[in-house]
Amino acid sequence: HQLPMISILDETGHLNDQVPEDWQGMERFEARKRVVDWFVAQDLLEKIDDHEHVVPHGDRSGTVIEPMLTDQWYCDAPSLAKEALRAVADGETRFIPNNWTKTYNEWLNNIEPWCISR
Q: What is the pLDDT of residues 49-61, one digit of tens each?
A: 999 999 999 999 9
pLDDT at 5: 87
Cis? peptide before 97, omega within 30° of 0: yes
pLDDT recorded at residue 71: 85
Q: For residue 71, give the nearest of 3, 27, 12, 7 by alpha carbon.
A: 7
Q: Using one digit for the tens of pLDDT, what is the confidence trace for 69-82? A: 888 999 999 999 99
Burial class (CB in 10 A: 0-12, 13-18, 19+), 15: buried
Domains of the chain, first to last? 1-66 (3.90.740.10), 74-115 (no CATH)
